[in-house]
């Protein structure tokens, strides 16, 4: 792999990187100063323009162009309602753990990004919705907000200008559905995290019915870098349609699981073999998820695909959260799918019948296939159930998230699933001692 420029994780390697003192030593809050009090202060429209030029796409899973999303906020002259930024730090997609690193090790980067994003969209406040289990993330980001407030960087008349902005934290309670943007807003408002039907979209009717933009932590974290170095700089890195660097969390059967910063354009094989130390125990890769369990699974022989938004489509999958999950050649696909289906069954909010019933049936059927109680038509039933659950037939995309990996497992490993049913047992031995945490 060629040498490449990094920025996302650079500060995290420095001791006490979470403190304001170290953050400032490393150039922190220079981007905010450039925007507000630089020799030529930037207008909100100029900040949005840089975001558009950067061609950055959201890092929360859907890959929506961020600059374009910010322009959906209504004109403040025509629509003077209060407006908000909601930062999605729920990070519950299985395999995904990148936002946590940023929040724990570089929380001021997120706060600075939030302030600039609020300025650009003329939002009065940012709300950071943090996954409940992320206690250290919560503490570190809250401490960063407190430090920034004491230094005149959060609150009224920031850096002596007429720009005022609050940053608030909100703790989730461990529900995957509260990472879906409208479920997140309902939860933030103190209600049950039930996604809302769209339209209306958050830019028109978001938090408390006011214009709101929802962005992922890593997306917002990129903002100060884009402001300082320019949108063109960001757009010069990566591949067509996928610009910049991304945080790749790689887990499963690799020697060195972790969160790594990489430029778009690297192949999955380079990541597995050169970054993550290869498939563990010298084994081969049987299958992998490119970006969390909501993507379609890809075969191990397709590791040479480039990890970006467009290239993965050629393998019937998508980038998702760039959280690669690697399965070695001794993995049972029936058991992988049993676990995944149980997750979606547990996390469905139950509002839509396809999702409520479908996730439950998928979970039950994968369980019986994996435990040797599969019935003759089970694989066909799974396929037809999943086809009925996706795409776009429900209030939110959780139903699709359950259906997509299911359909990929049937497409790629139908014979293996059928064999479990035929033999009335999973032919792949259960490798108890090989799972981390197993005793």
Ligand X SMILES: Cc1cc2nc3c(=O)[nH]c(=O)nc-3n(C[C@H](O)[C@H](O)[C@H](O)COP(=O)(O)O)c2cc1C
Binding residues vs ligand SF4 (CB under 6 A) = 177, 195, 348-352, 355-356, 394-396, 398-399
Per rule CB under 6 A, is residue 115 in the interface with ligand X? Answer: no
Q: Which is nearer to ligand X, 72 or 208 (CB)?
A: 72
- Which residue's CB is nearer to ligand X, number 89 or number 268? 89
Residues 392-411 that bind ligand X (CB under 6 A): 396-398, 401
User: For residues 311 and 394, which CB has a smaller minimum distance to ligand SF4 in the complex?
Assistant: 394
Q: Which does 352 bind (CB under 5 to 8 A by kind): ligand X, ligand SF4, none?
A: ligand SF4
318 near ligand X, rule: CB under 6 A: no
Going residue by residue from 166 to 185, which x/- string records binding to ligand X, judged by CB under 6 A?
----------xx-xxx----
Which of ligand X, ligand SF4, none is residue 259 near (CB under 5 to 8 Å by kind)? Answer: none
Please choose which of ligand X, ligand SF4, none residue 356 contacts, taking the beta carbon within 5 to 8 angstroms, the exact cut-off set by kind.
ligand SF4
Q: Is 216 in the site for ligand X (CB under 6 A)?
A: yes
317 is in the binding site of which of ligand X, ligand SF4, none (Cβ under 5 to 8 A by kind)? none
Q: Which residue lies nearer to ligand SF4 by CB, 153 or 352? A: 352
Q: Which of 93, 104, 186, 261 binds ligand X (CB under 6 A)?
A: 93
Per-residue three-class SS string for the chain: CCCCCCCCCCHHHCCCCCCHHHHHHCCCCHHHHHHHHCCCCCCHHHHHHHHHHHCCECCCCCCCEHHHHHHCCCCCCCCCCCCEEEEEECCCCCCCCHHHHHHHHCHHHHHHHHHHHHHHHCCCEEEEEECCCCHHHHHHHHHHHHHHHHCCCCECCHHHCCCCEEEEEEECCCCHHHHCHHHHHHHHCCCCCCCCCCCCCCCCCCHHHCCEEEEEHHHHHCHHHHHHHCHHHHHCCEECCEECEEEEEEEECECCCEEEEEEECEEHHHHHHHHCCCEHHHCCEEEEECCCCCCCCEEHHHCCCECCCCHHHHHCCCCCCCEEEEEECCCCHHHHHHHHHHHHHHHCCCCCHHHHHHHHHHHHHHHHHHCCCCCCCHHHHHHHHHHHHCCCCCCCCHHHHHHHHHHHHHHHHHHHHHHHHHHCCCCCCCCHHHCCCCC
| 345 vs 426, beta carbon nearer ligand X | 345
Q: Provide the minimum distance between the beta carbon of 363 and ligand SF4 in the complex, in angstroms, as a whole number.
A: 13
Q: Smallest distance from the beta carbon of 346 to ligand X, in angstroms?
A: 12
Least distance (Å) from ligand SF4 to the CB of residue 385?
14
- Rg value, the chain, Cα: 22
Closer of 93 and 338 to ligand X (Cβ): 93
Is 26 a binding residue for ligand X by CB under 6 A? The answer is no
Q: Find the binder of ligand X among 54, 88, 354, 406 (CB under 6 A).
A: 88
Using CB under 6 A as the binding rule, whether residue 61 contacts ligand X is answered as yes
Partner that binds at residue 91, options ligand SF4, ligand X, none, CB closer than 5 to 8 Å by kind? ligand X
The contact set with ligand X (CB under 6 A) reads 58-62, 64, 69, 88, 90-93, 176-177, 179-181, 214-216, 219, 396-398, 401
């Amino acid at each position: 792999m060629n040498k490449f420029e990094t920025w996302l994780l650079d500060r995290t390697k420095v001791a006490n990187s979470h403190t304001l003192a170290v953050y400032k030593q490393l150039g922190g809050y220079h981007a905010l100063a450039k925007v507000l009090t630089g020799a030529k202060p930037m207008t909100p429209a100029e900040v949005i323009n840089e975001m558009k030029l950067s061609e950055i796409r959201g890092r929360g899973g859907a890959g929506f162009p961020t600059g374009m999303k910010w322009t959906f906020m209504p004109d403040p002259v025509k629509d003077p309602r209060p407006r908000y930024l909601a930062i999605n730090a729920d990070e519950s997609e299985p395999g995904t753990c990148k936002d946590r690193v940023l929040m724990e090790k570089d929380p001021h980067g997120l706060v600075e990004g939030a302030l600039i994003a609020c300025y650009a969209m003329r939002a009065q406040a940012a709300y950071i919705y943090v996954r409940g289990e992320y206690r250290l993330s919560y503490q570190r980001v809250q401490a960063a907000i407190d430090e920034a407030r004491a230094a005149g960087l959060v609150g009224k008349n920031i850096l002596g200008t007429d720009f005022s902005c609050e940053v608030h934290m909100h703790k989730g309670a461990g529900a995957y559905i509260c990472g879906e943007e409208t479920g997140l807003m309902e939860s933030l408002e103190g209600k049950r995290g039930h996604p809302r039907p769209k339209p209306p979209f958050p830019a028109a009717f978001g938090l408390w019915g006011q214009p709101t933009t929802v962005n992922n932590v890593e997306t917002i974290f990129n903002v100060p870098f884009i402001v300082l170095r320019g949108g063109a700089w960001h757009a010069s890195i990566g591949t067509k349609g996928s610009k910049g660097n991304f945080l790749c969390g790689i887990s499963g059967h690799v020697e060195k699981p972790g969160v790594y910063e990489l430029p778009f354009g690297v192949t999955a094989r380079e990541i597995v073999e050169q970054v993550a130390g290869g498939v563990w125990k010298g084994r081969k890769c049987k299958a992998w998820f490119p970006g969390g369990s909501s993507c379609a699974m890809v075969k191990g022989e397709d590791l040479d695909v480039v990890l970006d938004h467009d290239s993965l489509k050629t393998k019937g999958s998508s980038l998702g959260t760039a959280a690669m999950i690697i399965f070695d050649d001794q993995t049972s696909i029936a058991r992988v799918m049993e676990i995944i289906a149980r997750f979606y069954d547990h996390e469905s909010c139950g509002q839509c019948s396809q999702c409520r019933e479908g996730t439950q049936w998928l979970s039950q059927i994968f369980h019986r296939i994996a435990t040797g109680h599969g019935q003759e038509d089970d694989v066909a039933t799974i396929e037809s159930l999943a086809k009925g659950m996706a795409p776009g037939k429900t209030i939110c995309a959780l139903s699709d998230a359950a259906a997509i990996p299911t359909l990929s497992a049937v497409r790629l490993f139908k014979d293996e699933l059928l064999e479990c049913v035929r033999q009335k047992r999973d032919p792949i031995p259960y490798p108890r001692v090989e799972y981390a945490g197993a005793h």
